[in-house]
Amino acid sequence: MQDSAPAATPKPSRIQRRNRKRILDAALEVFSQHGFRGATLDQIAAEAGLSKPNILYYFSSKEEIHVTLLNALMDTWLDPLRRIDPEGDPLEELLQYVHRKLEMSREFPRESRLFANEIIHGAPRMGPDLETVLKPLLEQSATMIDGWVAEGRIAPVDPRHLIFSIWATTQHYADFDAQLQVLMEGQDVLEGASAYLDTLYRRLLTP
Amino acid sequence: MQDSAPAATPKPSRIQRRNRKRILDAALEVFSQHGFRGATLDQIAAEAGLSKPNILYYFSSKEEIHVTLLNALMDTWLDPLRRIDPEGDPLEELLQYVHRKLEMSREFPRESRLFANEIIHGAPRMGPDLETVLKPLLEQSATMIDGWVAEGRIAPVDPRHLIFSIWATTQHYADFDAQLQVLMEGQDVLEGASAYLDTLYRRLLTP
DNA sequence: TGGCTTTTTTACCATTTGGTCAAGTTACGA
DNA sequence: TCGTAACTTGACCAAATGGTAAAAAAGCCA
């Protein structure tokens, strides 16, 4: 398919970029706090400092905003897993993965909740991405970990459940923040989490 | 305050009990699937096999149904933690706790998602319960575990983060089921999870 | 069975909400 | 500076939704 015709996406203007970003920022805030159905375009508009029809000038529907956020999220989200170096020291690579994931819970709690919310409700808008992006990456990582186990460089462990547990334990600190705030009022939760998870996975994986 | 006057709650009739139960069952299904805002009274009514006004004859509002579910849930939810025997063998008690929690994810995934949804959105209807019920129980359990550590009966560990990680890893299997179905199609996920978590916490806690 | 209470339904209402439209207003290249 | 395209807005709409009112139906007990 030649690209001699003018591009389908003519290249966004300065205003386009600025406002689309504002909208996505606002939407992330609102969606992550209230969920898809719980969020209203009016809330997003208010948060973005734009009028509702103006928002629909940049995105054709509420759903399109949500999907855009979800898609943009996937890459960031999986980055730590992709950065595990198959040539590195297995234990240290996996521990670094844990710490990077935990760091994401600190830096991007809204993204974490957005994602969690989507999955809890059956991933109605993410099914394809899970299959085509997440699954191959999981399989590839599992194979790598299995290799490390076979070489005796880490203790025997089910690689998939290992990864699930890392997701669960790290994302928990973002997704269940409201609960943790009540239970650990004042304390630096993430600090303790970091030390604890380091111990947890070190003891699990040390051969 | 004497109770000579007729009881404030005159005692529910047979029909009352049956229909309230139907409604709560239906609401659990719908709320856990779509969240509070995402669920409609019409959906709940259809699921319960009753008309919408009839539902509002038994519960004064959508919110009251939700709160009723949440309150009923708390006790069931914390039961496994309460059943840890301070006099038992520490390692086995904690491992049994893990397995009981995992079993709840298998038996009550809807309840788990209902709870997760509430917390993710800032626990707007559970704040008090977290403070008055969950927190004291967490503190009590933490003290018990600290005692076991001090006696050298389990390896040194932060008791609160230990409990958080047990919550996270076990509830993950209910809350993120949609994701796991895609990633582990066909396989018996809970089976593998049970074995993995046993290993994980055994290696962490064995002195 | 008759009469009273409990339960159920039909019809309806007010508000919220996602989305449209046509008329402005602003930016910007020629 | 002028014209055109890009952007913004106020007014509006239809559907969905939580909830109400009053009448009809069903239970229940003397």
pLDDT category, A184, cuts 50, 70, 90?
very high
Long-range contacts: B89-97, Cβ < 8 Å, 24+? B90/B145, B90/B148, B90/B153, B90/B154, B90/B205, B91/B153, B91/B154, B91/B202, B91/B205, B91/B206, B94/B145, B94/B154, B94/B162, B94/B201, B94/B205, B95/B198, B95/B201, B95/B202, B95/B205, B97/B166
Find and list the nucleotides of strand C having atoms within 7 Å of a protein beta carbon.
Answer: 6-11, 16-22, 27-28
Residue count (chain B): 207
Nearest to A37 among B37, B171, B193 (CB): B37
With cut-offs at 50, 70 and 90, classify the pLDDT of residue B11: low
Q: How far apart are CA B47 and CA B40, in angstroms?
A: 11
**Exposed/middle/buried for B87, CB within 10 Å: 0-12, 13-18, 19+?**
exposed
SS3 track for B11-53: CCCHHHHHHHHHHHHHHHHHHHHHHHHHCCHHHHHHHHCCCHH
**What are phi and psi for residue B50, nearest 5 degrees?**
-130, 165
Distance from CA of B54 to the nearest CA of A (A): 25
Three-state secondary structure string covering B69-80? HHHHHHHHHHHH
Taking alpha carbons only, the member of B65, B76, B81, B71 closest to residue B132 is: B71
Position B153 pLDDT exceeds 50: yes
The rounded mean pLDDT for chain B is 93
Nearest CA-CA partner of B120 in A104, A116, A126: A116
Mean pLDDT within B184-198 = 96
B73 CB-side CA count, 13 A = 26
Return the pLDDT at B79: 96
- How do residues A5-20 score in pLDDT, each as one tens digit? 333 455 677 778 899 9
Q: Confidence class of residue B10 from pLDDT cuts 50, 70 and 90?
A: low
Which residues of chain A have a CB within 8 Å of the CB of B130? 179, 182-183
Q: What is the pLDDT of residues B45-60, one digit of tens each?
A: 999 999 999 999 999 9
Q: Which of residues 19-48 of B touch strand D (CB under 7 A)?
A: 39-42
Predicted structure pTM score:
0.93
